[in-house]
A and B are shown apart, each in its own frame.
Chain A
């Protein structure tokens, strides 16, 4: 393997690892629960794993040095983000296939929107932390995302609406996830452009 291909593949390691772990979790749960359905809580854990892996895509331990290169930050990020999102999408498709085979009543459409929204949120948070001086925000954002999702699942019965899919009609619509995804994407783009402006000033 050349150093060029290694440089290209290394950032994909975390999304691939977390996507693989989500698939293992889905497979394990489906096999253990043959005859029954995978609990929605576990399905949400697979969503967390898929989304949290993308939080590492913006990690750049050499941020101080790479900040001065002429290539805009957004362009450099897109070279990592696009393959990373493809890897995550492939893993998500595999997880959805496993879950739908053993648990046909799971709201996979809602879970897909949640995954998309949480991926966008993870990238936006990573970008925000990066902009505020954290060169490797992946670990922090992944942990925060997992805590936020788990906390929401536990606290939901006390809330007026269900933010995450529960199979009830209290769950917020996919439109809210579309809005959250768009807003997160805007934050990601803005912070990438703003950081470029700062380093070229």
Chain B
């Protein structure tokens, strides 16, 4: 019997939150995360100073999704594999592998919060200085339904900032071999790119979707709009379920609570399928 199983439930929750706090601080202090957050901050400040916080509407979700989602994938992967690199030290802590993984999953709320703040700043700043394009129509509040714009911002930025790191934890737990971070990054970006050639609206099955369409002349954007083949807000539900599946996959690597985890995974999968079918209908 381990110390963890003899421990009262309340104390287990407290120790999990304490460990999650420590991992969250490690995440927030990681050089790659600081670099990504710094670039985002610079971009936001530059946009606000130029009174153009979002020049072309929702097209600009690509940069925060990459900086928080893909960078976050690598940071979470390295934090997870660091437990293997310091195995002798990690094994002395009175907490099992599944709880350590759960703490790392909770630490992924750091990039998600950053993504939420980025979206908030953009929306508030764009309310003061709305984006304009020569052709008139911009994929933003005012020209597009509010629910659609919020759906794209939440799905493509906030949930990408959560899902990327969670996937990093899952990949590191199941495939800690050399090169798995590189392989994961390439697969993640390849799927998002290749999804664009899948017939509409089934590209929505991709974990990250480009919702916008733009008319460009001579390298200058004329108009931008949200594609109406997929409902962004319903797609957010699908993306959230993918995040849940990534978390469940990470936790399944260790023994314990298998039944509950598999049931949760099945629920996420079923609900996710429901959301995506509604989103594309």
Give A contacts to B, CB under 8 Å.
14, 17-18, 21, 25, 28-29, 32-33, 36, 39, 41-42, 45, 48-49, 52-53, 56, 59, 138-140, 142-143, 146-147, 150-151, 154-155
Per the 8 Å Cβ criterion, residues 154-197 of B in contact with A are 178-179, 181-183, 185-186, 189-190, 193-194, 197
**Does the CB pair A151–B66 fall under 8 Å?**
yes
> What residue in chain B is nearest A46 (Cβ atoms)?
B186
**Does the CB pair B182–A49 fall under 8 Å?**
yes
1/0 per residue, CB under 8 A from A, across B54-68: the answer is 000000001100110
Chain A residues near B67 (CB, 8 Å)? 151
Chain A nearest Cβ from B57, distance in angstroms: 15
Question: B179 touches which one: A14, A25, A147 (CB < 8 A)?
Answer: A14
19 contacts between A and B (CB under 8 A): A14-B178, A29-B190, A36-B197, A41-B189, A41-B193, A42-B193, A42-B194, A45-B193, A52-B179, A139-B178, A139-B182, A143-B182, A143-B185, A146-B182, A146-B186, A150-B185, A150-B189, A151-B66, A154-B62
Q: State which size class the interface on B falls in.
A: 20 to 34
Given contacts A21-B186, A45-B190, 18 further A-B contacts (CB under 8 A): A17-B179, A28-B194, A29-B190, A41-B189, A42-B190, A45-B189, A45-B193, A48-B182, A48-B186, A52-B179, A53-B179, A139-B179, A142-B179, A143-B74, A147-B32, A147-B74, A150-B66, A151-B66
Task: State the CA gap A156–B60 with chains docked (Å).
Answer: 13
**Does the CB pair B74–A25 fall under 8 Å?**
no
Question: B185 touches which one: A18, A39, A41, A146 (CB < 8 A)?
Answer: A146
> What residue in chain A is nearest B43 (Cβ atoms)?
A158
Question: B63 touches which one: A28, A142, A143, A155 (CB < 8 A)?
Answer: A155
1/0 per residue, CB under 8 A from A, across B62-93: the answer is 11001100110010011000000000000000
Chain A nearest Cβ from B224, distance in angstroms: 14
Q: Do A142 and B182 contact each other (CB < 8 Å), given the known contacts A32-B194, A36-B197, A154-B63?
A: yes
Chain A residues near B71 (CB, 8 Å)? 147
Chain B residues near A155 (CB, 8 Å)? 63
Chain A residues near B178 (CB, 8 Å)? 14, 56, 59, 138-139
